[in-house]
Structure 1
Amino acid sequence: MYESDHTKFIKSLKEQNPALEAGQQQGRALLWDKAPASLEEIARAKESAIKQQAYVYQTKL
């Protein structure tokens, strides 16, 4: 069965450093996996949002 050079490299990297995948999962959990927000938090965030002007880069004189 054919394996590309990239696949072989990733496999050898994981064999050399078995904790690599666990570290990747921890990093993902830290940055991307968020706890679900309650309905009260969502409503409060919508109410407190500041409306953005139509053209962002134009300064008001």
Structure 2
Amino acid sequence: MKFQQTYRPQHGGYVSEFTSFINGYQRQHPDMEKGQQQGWYLLWDKHVDFDELEREQKADVPLKPGSYYYE
């Protein structure tokens, strides 16, 4: 994916120093986006077994009012 500055209406073409830095960094490191996607998949895209989740929730023992986990 090519990173390019887009026209922002009512901003008079102003580009902040940070945006300029990020755009330059992305041009110099084209593999950055692939690394971001790999990080996303590593942390967020997980397979969820809903049957196992339901079994775990049913196996929980309810606490008595006013009690703590570790007594």
TM-score (norm 1): 0.68
For the pair 1:14 / 2:26, whether they are aligned, the reply is yes
1:34 CA displacement: 1.6
Task: Report what 1:43 is aligned to.
Answer: 54
Higher relative contact order (CA 8 A, sep 6+): 2
In structure 1, distance between residues paired with 2:21 and 2:42: 26
1:51 CA displacement: 5.3
Structure with higher Rg: it is: 2
Structure 2 unaligned residues grouped into runs of 5+ = 1-12
The count of aligned residue pairs is: 58
Structure 1 unaligned residues grouped into runs of 5+ = none
Larger fraction in helix: 1
Per-residue CA deviation, residues 3-37 of structure 1 (Å, 9 max, x unaligned), is 11111111111111100011011001101122243
When the two chains are superposed, the root-mean-square deviation of aligned CA atoms in Å is 2.6
Give the share of equivalent positions with the same residue, in percent: 35
Tell me: CA distance 1:20–1:49, structure 2 relative to 1, closer, same or farther (3 Å): farther
